[in-house]
Amino acid sequence: MFARKQQAEPTPPQASVYHDYDDDSLLGIIGALPTLVKNLINAEVARAKVWASSSGKDAGVGSVWFLAALFVLFWTVPVIFTVLIAVIAIWLPVWASALIVLGVGLLIIAVLVFLGLQRFKKVQQRQNPAAAMSQDVQLVKEARDAAWQ
């Protein structure tokens, strides 16, 4: 029903890409190396842009589907609790069954909040990779300065 449109592959740069280097001298091949490296980098960057664009689009569409599911869940949860209250009300008064469902719900919320806080504490204890990298750069600079003295 919904046909997925294929992304066009980036066209590689044309300069020196399809040149046959079998008959060239070593100096000729070395001379062409900067152009080849530049073309390779340009092709990789173009491919990365296409990948990022298509991945971003897929993630956006997937997020919309998740939001739709959360919207339906938002309206379904009260119905589930109402059914639980009605089932417990078979044995107990309605006010008591509602109180039981409320208490169990609050207990579950407390446990989930506790688990969430524990996970956030772990995140705060981890070292940020960017900070570690800047620390490594600082160590290299200090080693370089010490070597020059």
pLDDT digit string (tens) for 81-104? 999 999 999 999 999 999 999 999
Q: Following DSSP, what letter does each residue of the chain receive, concatenated?
A: --PPPPPPPPPPP-TTSS---TTS-HHHHHHHHHHHHHHHHHHHHHHHHHHHHHHHHHHHHHHHHHHHHHHHHHHHHHHHHHHHHHHHTTTS-HHHHHHHHHHHHHHHHHHHHHHHHHHHHHHHHSPPHHHHHHHHHHHHHHHHHHHH-
Domain chopping of the chain, boundaries = 7-69, 89-149
Overall pTM surpassing 0.75 (yes/no): no
Report, as an integer, the average pLDDT of 100-126: 89
pLDDT band at 71 (very low <50, low <70, confident <90, very high): very high
Tell me: the pLDDT tens digits for 8-32?
555 555 554 567 777 777 787 788 8
